Amino acid sequence: METTMIVNGGDSIVTNGGGGVDDVYGEDTATEDQLITPWTVSVASGYSLMRDPHHNKGLAFSEKERDAHYLRGLLPPAISSQELQEKKLMHNLRQYKVPLQRYVAMMDLQERNERLFYKLLIDNVEELLPVVYTPTVGEACQKYGSIFRRPQGLYISLKEKGKILEVLKNWPERNIQVIVVTDGERILGLGDLGCQGMGIPVGKLSLYTALGGIRPSACLPVTIDVGTNNDKLLNDEFYIGLKQKRETGQEYSELLEEFMTAVKRNYGEKVLIQFEDFANHNAFELLEKYRNSHLVFNDDIQGTASVVLAGLLSALKLVGGTLADHRFLFLGAGEAGTGIAELIALEISKQTQVAIEETRKKIWLVDSKGLIVRSRVESLQHFKKPWAHEHEPVKGLLDAVKAIKPTVLIGSSGVGRTFTKEVVEAMTSFNEKPLILALSNPTSQSECTAEEAYTWSEGRAIYASGSPFDPVEYDGKVFVPGQANNAYIFPGFGLGLIMSGAIRVHDDMLLAASEALAAQLKEENFEKGLIYPPFSNIRKISANIAADVAAKAYELGLASSLPRPKDLVKFAESCMYSPIYQSYR
């Protein structure tokens, strides 16, 4: 069945039975739905309209809309405003004591009433971010088979090999601007969750919309299913993925190559493909392989690096000195650790005009075998080799802290409780204000809690974590821990790429995003010891990040949307999707 939308000026947009939209204006470049209210002439019955999450308004349908769209009798007589609906839902959500129940309730709302879901998320971002993303999304992925109701993205398994282009065409939306894809092998700090990793792309894309203003219909979550090495899942009768060991090597490469080729062919050169939660060996290879042919971004390597660098730049106002004056020690030398280290080295190189080979020497990494040093270089994976500096071997983290005497300690190991009392005390012994970033997710994997950091450092530490922690009172003073959450960066970063029509991601864009985020902190934030701004202002923050990323794309000659808008911040704000209900007639 076809329905027709009459848009202003009398132009019509025909929506096909699959739900895709033929945009009469050509390529849909803005992130709002055609930037206008879709006046609809309903051909389908009102019952179908109420079950379409894109257009359903529940009790907010007016008397006129109920008459025009055959809704009489299908709804109770009361009419509620969107604000009243939001108030009721927040009241209901707060009744749930178990975070996973809140997650399921939010997912149900997204399936029922998309605009109300985003209104809730935008207006209550600090309260609901931990529900729709870390830490609750980790538990949701572990139990995804049990809570699975309706597919929220595309599942591309080995069964679809040779047919991926056809599979992409099964998705109802045509104008896709952002794809978040995972193969489920390294979900947060929880390991191989196979097909159940879909919770991550779904969660990330809901944040792209809520925090960055990318319209929901332009977002596509994808899970590549090549099996799982998780025996518990393979033996779980409710597991929703392929019940086989994980495929590797040529078979894996061919499937990914077919996927990347099909995406570009179906959605064009400018679709952003964000790799999410791939295991180290694949993450680095995929980014390296496709960065020169596709618009690709790895959030674990590049997004984490950008948000951490932003925190370090703002922390300088609290600890003093320039970035080049500090010494950095990492626990963890995987995607996050080496990605952050490289971006710090790039920023120091940019500030000091010193070659990056030299600036890397200020940064030391510890992996499972101890400090990464020159004598280990032959046995190191390629991405660790740039960090092998001259030093005698050192086994554990505590000994490395004592030997290197870092001013900044960064945890990206995925292993909880590794910043022990002795480690924090050692950091405090030679730093007036030790900077401690415990970045591993979810909360259970954090290297130390906020309370531990403040207590063991006698209130002197400047602390931020990957997952949220409540404020801590120590010695009569309240400390508010920062959250080095990638959600500060990737929504604005993606918006900047889309609105400039960028065709490639350049490292300078990541530096621009970091500097833009650091610039958003105000004096009252620093007074609380914060190195990240409050999330309540995230859409404004995202607009500023998008503007600086877009400016860099234009400067580098990588932008295709011409002419360049005069005021990029205002343009970013004008592109943002609004969750306010639209009027139908």
Q: Catalytic positions, please?
A: 133, 204
CA separation for the pair 262, 224 (Å, rounded): 13
Helix (H, G, I), strand (E, B) or coil at 80: coil
Cβ neighbours of 192 (radius 10 Å): 20
Residue carrying the six token digits 């993606």: 494
Helix (H, G, I), strand (E, B) or coil at 45: coil
Q: Where are the alpha helices (DSSP H) in 237-279?
A: 249-267
CA separation for the pair 311, 317 (Å, rounded): 10
CB–CB of 571/50 below 8 Å?
Answer: no
Cβ neighbours of 25 (radius 10 Å): 12
Candidates 106, 209, 199, 215; CA nearest to 155 is 199
CB–CB of 488/517 below 8 Å?
Answer: yes
CB–CB of 503/556 below 8 Å?
Answer: no
Candidates 60, 118, 112, 7; CA nearest to 577 is 118
β-partners of residue 222 are 154, 181
CA separation for the pair 442, 450 (Å, rounded): 14
β-partners of residue 435 are 408, 462
User: In the 3-class helix/strand/coil scheme, how is 125-187 assigned residue by residue?
Assistant: HHHHHHHHCCCHHHHHHHCHHHHCCCCCCEEEEHHHCCCHHHHHHHCCCCCCCEEEEECCCCC
At 300, phi and psi to the nearest 5?
-70, -35
Q: Report which residue type is found at 584.
A: Y
What's the chain's Rg over C-alpha atoms? Answer: 24
At 266, phi and psi to the nearest 5?
-80, -35
Helix (H, G, I), strand (E, B) or coil at 444: helix
Both tokens of residue 57?
Answer: 């308004």
Q: Report which residue type is found at 517.
A: L
Residue carrying the six token digits 């970013």: 572
CA separation for the pair 296, 505 (Å, rounded): 7
CA separation for the pair 201, 156 (Å, rounded): 13
CA separation for the pair 107, 110 (Å, rounded): 5
